[in-house]
Structure 1
Amino acid sequence: MATSPPFELEWLSRIDQLTASQWDLLFADAPPFCRYGYLNALERSGCVGGQSGWAPYHLCVRRQGQIAALAPGYLKRHSYGEYVFDWSWADAYQHHGLAYYPKWISAIPFTPVTGPRLRVAPGIQSESLLAAITPSLHHHGLSLGLSGMQWLFPRLDESQALARQQWRQRLDIQFHWHNRGYASFEQFTDTLTARRRKAILKERRCRATLTIERFEGAAITPALWQQFFRFYQLTYAKRSGHGGYLNQPFFEALGQALAENLVLIMARRGDHWLAGALYLKDKECLYGRYWGCTEAIDGLHFELCYYQGIDYCIDHGLCRFDAGAQGEHKLRRGFEPTLTYSNHLVFHPQFDEAIASFVGQETERVLQRMQVYHRQLPFKSD
């Protein structure tokens, strides 16, 4: 009986070791964060690589020389910018005199968005490929001195397939807005309790003194990019004491590579810009990512980052609005709890056993929180 040719692992220290057409052939219908243009913009701008602690290490699986699968990947020397929190694991390793870093992750840097992580070529079965390469991934990780490997924010089907190959599955919760065929923002708020609808309309009063404008694609000029980046830096500096993970060359490269996927919503008083929020989009979903302002105005953050996004989804028939990680306050504004996933292969046998126990207990707590959140949704009861 004939056997299939073996899969071979190739590791790329730069995404431009492949062409855009080679990468996007597998990720063409994925969220824009998975596309070549986005990942290459991160590398070209220096947001990853160098001293960032994110060393590009993308996985290319070949069979008989042909690309069989691709996955974005990075060697990490810290856990910043991942949004799957494993600091306690790193502390436990250090307490026992072991090195937790480096580790390998398949993820989109600084971007907690669910999407495909391992894309396979036509005619190849994803789970069969994963079963075939997991031993090789384990062996390669050990040869590099890694503590383990992680897949962050994979789709549910990918996470389940990884779990069946003994990659420990973790759960977390985000809050997403769902478009149920609303014809207007008012029709959406009519589905909410009177108290919550009144609160939202009160928060939107800031529009009365401001002009809010949408810019898409090529309409986002260099001057607008410069103004938006100033907002982004100021907000990060106030919140975190640094200028943010991303730089102006990244945003400019993003504007060139993925113009059709960008929406910039800006607020001004007279001729003076005060705030901006940058979104990415695909055919089904709007992704709220970055925001900043120069003046604190009641309700302005909620307006630019939530309500304008809902307006855009309704106007353009998008099914879902992912406004970013965490944020229980989104519940009160009609965003619904959504499970997210990560999977972890821990090389140290004793730590793997301890982490498996931790993850099991954590899963129970997450599912209990999901039930609580569903009870807190502000929609009218039937």
Structure 2
Amino acid sequence: MSSKVEIHVVDSISEVPADQWNVLADGNPFAQHEFLSAMHDTECASAATGWRPYYLLMRRGHELAGAMPLYLKSHSRGEYVFDHAWADAFQRHGLRYYPKLLSAVPFSPVTGPRLLAASHADRVMLARGAVELAKQLNVSSIHVLFPHEADLQALTDAGYMLREGVQFHWENFGYESFDEFLSKMSHDKRKKVKQDRRRVADAGVTFRWLHGADVNADALDFFYECYENTYREHWNPPYLSREFFDQIHATMPDAIMLVIAEVGGKRLACALNIVAGNTMYGRYWGTKEFVSGLHFETCYMQGIEYCIVNRLASFEGGAQGVHKMSRGLLPTATWSAHWIADSRFAHAISEFLDRETAAMDEHIDELEAHTPFKRRS
């Protein structure tokens, strides 16, 4: 006879043993206890920044059978799935859109598990548990961003509506070298990549890769200086603190990979990637000065070359960016799921999503028709 299932909420992931949580996270670095703890311990994601944690836990007897990271959001910043038009529509009709519940990795448009459970039935229970929590809190909606494919059917079964988006990911088809990768591209795209790389090389720029134990505090200091500069140029404070990167460096050292660009031994730019399993995720970058082509080389081409050398299967290049296609990253459908409390708005949003999904499918088809690779005969 199966044990009784209980679902409850905690406001801190520290209440869950890391080993129990990480079994459910299934190796995804951004769903790991250590990564989420760093977000909260350093107060990057906290009630003060508009990310109040509501961690939904499902226990079967004494066993942790499921979990769903949730946040009570007072804004839509740091999400990368845009719902500002929905918020405006609520406001125009005299209704409150915020606070809302969000299941996502703060400030990180990365795919991964959001319903952390071993079975479809348990994932459905978690999704429905979130709806019950939303009703108790009297919030307008729930939004689940960039879930893994295994979550989608469970979310649909629990009454959520799906929204399609697109990112650009690179896949390793067993390339033995970067030159072999380039040889598979069309003549025009291959020529463009070579020209861009030559322009960076002619400026005297060289690159170093630091991974795991090679990353030290000095390298992180330089990275953070570059990262902070990127935000400063857009007149915004950075989402993440230096302390956050210190903590993940201490607790997840093998996950960090830095690409450092130098000229004559002087450091110029840096990109930080997260590596786990067979996948690398491009996350943050910055530079001390402008060099034509430096951004694409540091963030994408060096990342692809690193994956080829280290036989990683894929490279997720982050949110948005059609320009990434010319560098060999291809359009990949991503998803979000949404539950709306007000039935009138739920109906209107459902109709909108039907139209938007059809348009997004056409957009992805059009992008795929302009592949940077040679046509296979």
Above 0.5 in TM-score?
yes
Q: Deviations over 1:97-152 (max 9, x none)?
A: 1111111111101111111111225xxx32x2244455443232122121111211
Name the amino acid aligned to 2:296: F
Q: Deviations over 1:63-121 (max 9, x none)?
A: 22421101222111101111111111111111111111111111101111111111225
Shift of 1:220: 1.2
Structure 2 equivalent of residue 167 of structure 1:
160
Indicate conservation of the 8 Å contact 2:10/2:57, yes or no.
yes
TM-score between the two structures when normalised by the length of structure 1: 0.95
Q: Secondary structure at the match of 1:275?
A: strand
Please list every run of at least 4 consecutive aligned residues from structure 1 whose deviation after the TM superposition is greater than 6 angstroms.
none
Name the amino acid aligned to 1:255: H
Structure 2 equivalent of residue 158 of structure 1:
151
Structure 1 equivalent of residue 19 of structure 2:
21
Structure 2 equivalent of residue 182 of structure 1:
175
**Which has the larger displacement, 135-144 or 210-219?**
135-144
Structure 2 equivalent of residue 47 of structure 1:
44
Over the aligned positions, Cα root-mean-square deviation in angstroms equals: 1.4
Indicate conservation of the 8 Å contact 1:55/1:74, yes or no.
yes
Q: Deviations over 1:216-244 (max 9, x none)?
A: 112211111111101001111113x1131
Structure 1 equivalent of residue 107 of structure 2:
110
Structure 1 position 379 matched with structure 2 position 373: yes
Name the amino acid aligned to 1:363: T
TM-score between the two structures when normalised by the length of structure 2: 0.96
Shift of 1:58: 1.3
Q: Secondary structure at the match of 1:197?
A: helix
Q: Aligned partners of 2:169, 2:242: CA distance in 1, in Å?
A: 28
Indicate conservation of the 8 Å contact 1:105/1:150, yes or no.
yes
Structure 1 position 148 matched with structure 2 position 141: yes
Q: Deviations over 1:5-58 (max 9, x none)?
A: 54322212111111211211222x332111111111111111011420011111
Cα 1:20/1:136, change in 2 over 3 Å:
closer
Cα 1:232/1:131, change in 2 over 3 Å:
closer
Structure 2 equivalent of residue 292 of structure 1:
286
Structure 2 equivalent of residue 367 of structure 1:
361
Indicate conservation of the 8 Å contact 2:117/2:123, yes or no.
no
Structure 2 equivalent of residue 262 of structure 1:
256
Structure 2 equivalent of residue 7 of structure 1:
5
Q: Aligned partners of 2:349, 2:213: CA distance in 1, in Å?
A: 48
Cα 1:203/1:59, change in 2 over 3 Å:
same
Name the amino acid aligned to 1:83: Y
> Structure 2: where are the runs of 5+ without partners?
none
Q: Secondary structure at the match of 2:261?
A: strand
> Structure 1: where are the runs of 5+ without partners?
none
Q: Aligned partners of 1:22, 1:194: CA distance in 2, in Å?
A: 51
Q: Aligned partners of 1:217, 1:200: CA distance in 2, in Å?
A: 29
Cα 1:108/1:134, change in 2 over 3 Å:
closer
